[in-house]
Amino acid sequence: MNTLEQAMSLDKTLTVMGSDCTLKVAIACPVPNVLRLHYWVHNHSDLPLYLCNQLYKVITRDHTTGELVYAVQPNLANVRLESEHVVVGKTVVDVPEWMFVESHQIPCLSRILPGEEWEETFDLSLPLMPYTVYDYSPSTGKPVSRKLVFELGYFLASPHTEDFITSVRTSSGTAYYIDPFPASEQSLLAVGPWTEPVFVVSEV
């Protein structure tokens, strides 16, 4: 059994409790070369909580109704390679300083009312490939071993903030949306690193 298979044969769950919510994440490898993450969030605040977790690449238009449809992909996540870790995230990300874009993009949102929960399972191919909605060119380096961290972006919505949130249609049903905002304005919960590493494609 190689290092990757050995690491992912163990279903390991880590939990972190923040001031607003609790995040629990389990990782597994159900088949070779697939990393499965299951995350669960409980909102223990007094306000609605919005997860920045429904990533997409394309927005289409329904020619019958004229509605915009966000082509949400549950198995899409940000992947960031660092010196000691690889960070998988469902978060808002900023436009790189070297890039110009006509419009900023944030994920569609999932709403969790006070006392309620949200959970989702998604799969990523191994080795992981660095990715954001702005920087998605495939890396061409060799796979390297890194310990895994999972990040989840969210914000609490006051009655004033709720006025700026709208429901939107996605390929998976109804979600929520707010005008783009800087990544620094979201709250982040991070779980990890897990003990055993996974492989990620290096940039060079």
User: Rounded to whole angstroms, what are the CA distances from 105 to 72, 99, 124, 144?
Assistant: 13, 14, 22, 29
Contact of 13 with 26, CB cutoff 8 Å? yes
User: Mind listing the pLDDT tens digit for each residue in 171-195?
Assistant: 989 999 999 999 999 999 999 999 9
Q: What is the pLDDT along the chain (204 residues), one digit of tens a residue?
A: 344 443 444 458 999 999 999 999 999 988 889 999 999 999 999 999 999 999 999 999 999 998 999 999 999 999 999 999 999 999 999 887 766 666 688 999 999 999 999 999 999 999 999 999 887 777 778 999 999 999 999 999 999 999 999 999 999 899 999 999 999 999 999 999 999 899 999 976
Q: How many residues belong to the chain?
A: 204
Residue 74 structural domain: 3-201
Cis preceding-peptide flag for 30 (omega within 30 of 0): no
Pairwise CA distance, residues 95 & 190, whole Å: 21
Residue 161 phi/psi, 5-degree rounding, is: -65, -35
Chain centre to alpha carbon of residue 111: 15
Pairwise CA distance, residues 107 & 5, whole Å: 32
Closest by CA position to 76, among listed 172, 146, 9: 172
Domain count for the chain, please give it.
1
Contacts of 137 (CB under 8 A, 6+ apart): none
Chain centre to alpha carbon of residue 127: 17
Q: Where are the alpha helices (DSSP H) in 60-175?
A: 159-162
Pairwise CA distance, residues 143 & 178, whole Å: 37
Q: Where are the alpha helices (DSSP H) in the chain?
A: 3-8, 159-162
Pairwise CA distance, residues 97 & 103, whole Å: 14
